């Protein structure tokens, strides 16, 4: 490699005196004759005993201890890089090896000592196949996971294309790679536990005996690439005690961005899965964020996919979590790791809502769809006092419509900038005050629904428990319906129309009422058509509960007689 120490040009000395080269050749010839004569006249030494046969690679691995989750990572002593004169260690051809447990199947290749496939066996993609975390679209376009990255303007192509000697432990819980040639020495090791998504990664690189700081890649996207908009959910992240939680989406990464610090964890995630390194405490650690333009599987258009590289030292050692963002599982590994499940700014509502849904599912209804229905009913009845107050206000506003129309006619044609417009507002407010009406009272329940709406959205798009959760004909509550004619949005629109017909109208204009009767449901249907089924189920259930509450309210509180209409005053003349 052009930037390695072994490739530095050697500065030549000045020109030798005339005849120097001939004298050097003559001296070398005389030394050669002398050595040949010594071999002829001196007795030869007895032959050395034959060395014992070398052990095969698999046999050598039998001494490797299987790491446990609570034991330290496989140790690589600093400064053990081989010199340029060490014997070459390579493989004759490309080989693959698979590590498989009940949780995952990881396929390694000795070309570059990298990962070809990382499958989570307990999870399915949108096509029903075991979930592949390595983006298939990245094959042949970017380097494979665990490939080496050097710092700026340093190429690692030689190490990432080399054929490493690969050793798999007899219990198939650990893979070791080693490569030594042309001054380069590289070693990687990854050890697994059979019942954990947590592995332990070690890597070491040196050149001509000098330690070489490096990182290990995961590029070309991460997670379930079969869902619509998968690239939009990918991001790189890091967390430390000083700056807290920081993340970058692929579109935000214009060029590779490097960050170094005392990170609690750092890595890459999508909506429901994560691959994060947990470095040793009190040691600086690096994460480099990058993006790659790759085709999506739906329309073959290029999209920015997130990528990362972690490490930064000549000898890297860290725990590596690759698995689902399950809050209980994450908390068992590190108290800060549940931060991977990001509920956003409405976390104060979203997190208790998620806990309530999980409790309802585990202890009462045993289905997340019905848990959403029950939680929505509870929320709507908790807001019932405010709804009753709002509905009373809307009935009063409806009864005042004749007088409001009279005021509007009086000030007809007056622009908003006209000083007399303030007089119009004064008369309206005096009318509201006289009859004890709040003009904003009807908006309060809708405004209170918005935080719960956003909280449901964050729970459905972040909680692994709801990924793949079914309800009646819906196969996955975290995704839109798979039916060509989506039933939940259609029922939601129909319920929206019915609820508007039952709700007191605050406008006397029939054309305006008709427009709102059509415009609002159509707008809601358009917004919810591509939304997750669980979110549509929440809003539809809220509509159905609202219809029942409105029917009860209309029966208990019949419309009061409207105040006597006031004869419209003559319109004010424009100045």
- 296 & 164 share domain: yes
What domain range is 361 assigned to? 348-556
C-alpha of 467 from chain center = 14
Helix (H) or strand (E) holding 131: strand 130-132
C-alpha of 49 from chain center = 61
The pTM of the full predicted model, rounded to 2 decimals, is 0.74
What is the chain's mean pLDDT, rounded? 79
Q: Identify the domain boundary among 322, 342, 362.
A: 342
Q: What is the dihedral of CA 123, 128, 133, 139, to 10 degrees?
A: 160
- For residue 575, tell me if it sits in a domain: no
pLDDT at 267: 96
- For residue 17, tell me if it sits in a domain: no
- For residue 140, tell me if it sits in a domain: yes
- For residue 477, tell me if it sits in a domain: yes
Per-residue pLDDT at 526 exceeds 90: no
* Tens digit of each residue's pLDDT (9 = 90 or more) over 77-125: 444 445 445 688 999 999 999 999 999 999 999 999 999 999 999 999 9
Tokens of 41: 């006249």
- 424 & 551 share domain: yes
Residue 327's Cβ-count burial label (10 Å; 0-12, 13-18, 19+) is buried
Kindly report the CATH number assigned to the domain that includes residue 215.
Answer: 2.70.98.90
Lowest mean pLDDT among 152-156, 200-204, 318-322, 529-533: 152-156
- 338 & 450 share domain: no
Per-residue pLDDT at 144 exceeds 70: yes
Closest CA to 210 of 90, 314, 112, 310: 314
Q: Identify the domain boundary among 312, 342, 372.
A: 342
Q: Cα-flanking dihedrals φ and ψ of residue 369, to 5°? A: -65, -50
* Tens digit of each residue's pLDDT (9 = 90 or more) over 39-58: 434 444 344 344 444 333 33
Sheet of strand 104-109: strand arrangement: 96-100, 104-109, 114-124, 130-132
- For residue 49, tell me if it sits in a domain: no
* Tens digit of each residue's pLDDT (9 = 90 or more) over 165-205: 999 999 999 999 999 999 999 999 999 998 999 999 999 99
- 371 & 470 share domain: yes
Domains held by the chain: number: 2
- For residue 52, tell me if it sits in a domain: no
CA atoms within 13 A on the CB side of 181: 14
pLDDT at 512: 61
- 296 & 384 share domain: no
Q: Identify the domain boundary among 320, 342, 364.
A: 342
- 233 & 102 share domain: yes
Which residues make Cβ contacts (< 8 Å) with residue 498, sequence separation at least 6? 547
């Amino acid at each position: 490699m052009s930037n390695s120490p072994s490739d530095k040009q050697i500065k030549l000395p000045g020109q030798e005196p005339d005849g120097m080269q001939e004298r050097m050749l003559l001296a070398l010839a005389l030394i050669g004759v002398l050595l040949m004569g010594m071999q002829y006249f001196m007795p030869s030494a007895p032959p050395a005993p034959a060395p014992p046969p070398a052990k095969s690679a698999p046999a050598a691995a039998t001494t490797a201890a299987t790491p446990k989750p609570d034991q330290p990572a496989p140790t690589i002593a600093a400064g053990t890089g081989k010199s340029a004169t060490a014997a070459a260690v390579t493989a004759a051809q490309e080989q693959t090896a698979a590590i498989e447990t009940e949780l995952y199947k990881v396929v390694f290749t000795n070309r570059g000592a990298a990962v070809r496939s990382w499958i989570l066996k307990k999870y399915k993609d949108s096509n029903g196949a075991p979930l592949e975390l390595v983006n298939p679209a990245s094959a042949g376009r970017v380097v494979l996971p665990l490939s080496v990255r050097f710092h700026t303007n340093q190429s690692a192509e030689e190490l990432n294309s080399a054929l490493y000697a690969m050793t798999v432990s007899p219990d198939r819980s650990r893979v070791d790679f080693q490569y030594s040639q042309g001054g380069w020495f590289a070693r990687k090791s990854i050890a697994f536990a059979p019942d954990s998504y947590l592995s332990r990664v070690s890597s070491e690189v040196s050149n001509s005996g000098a330690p070489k700081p490096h990182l290990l890649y995961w590029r070309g996207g991460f997670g379930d690439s079969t869902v619509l908009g998968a690239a939009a959910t990918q991001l790189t992240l890091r967390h430390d005690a000083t700056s807290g939680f920081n993340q970058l989406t692929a579109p935000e990464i214009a060029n590779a961005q490097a960050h170094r610090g005392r990170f609690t964890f750092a890595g890459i995630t999508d909506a429901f899965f994560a691959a994060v390194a947990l470095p040793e405490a009190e040691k600086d650690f690096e994460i480099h964020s990058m993006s790659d333009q790759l085709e999506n599987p739906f329309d073959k258009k290029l999209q920015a996919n997130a990528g990362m590289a972690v490490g930064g030292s000549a000898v890297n050692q860290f725990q590596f979590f690759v698995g689902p963002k399950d809050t209980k599982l994450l908390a068992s590994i590190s108290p800060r790791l549940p931060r991977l499940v990001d509920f956003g700014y409405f976390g104060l509502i979203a997190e208790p809502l998620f806990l309530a849904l999980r409790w309802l599912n585990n202890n009462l209804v045993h289905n997340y769809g019905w848990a959403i229905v029950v939680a929505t009913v509870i929320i709507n009845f908790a807001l019932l006092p405010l709804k009753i107050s709002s509905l009373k206000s809307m009935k009063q506003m409806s009864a005042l419509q004749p007088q409001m129309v009279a005021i509007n006619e009086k000030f007809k044609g007056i622009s908003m900038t006209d000083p007399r417009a303030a007089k119009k507002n004064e008369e309206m407010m005096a009318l509201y005050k006289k009859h004890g009406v709040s003009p904003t009272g009807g908006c309060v329940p809708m405004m209170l629904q918005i935080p719960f709406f956003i909280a449901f959205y964050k729970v459905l798009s972040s909680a692994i428990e709801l990924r793949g959760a079914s309800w009646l004909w819906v196969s996955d509550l975290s995704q839109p319906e798979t039916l060509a004619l989506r039933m939940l949005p259609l029922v939601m629109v129909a319920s929206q129309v019915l609820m508007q017909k039952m709700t007191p109208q605050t406008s006397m204009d029939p054309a305006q009422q008709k427009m709102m009767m059509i415009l609002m449901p159509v707008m809601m249907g358009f917004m919810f058509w591509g939304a997750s089924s669980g979110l549509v189920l929440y809003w539809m259930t809220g509509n159905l509960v609202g219809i029942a509450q409105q029917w009860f309210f209309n029966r208990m509180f019949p419309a009061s007689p409207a105040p006597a209409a006031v004869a419209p005053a003559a319109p004010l003349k424009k100045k």
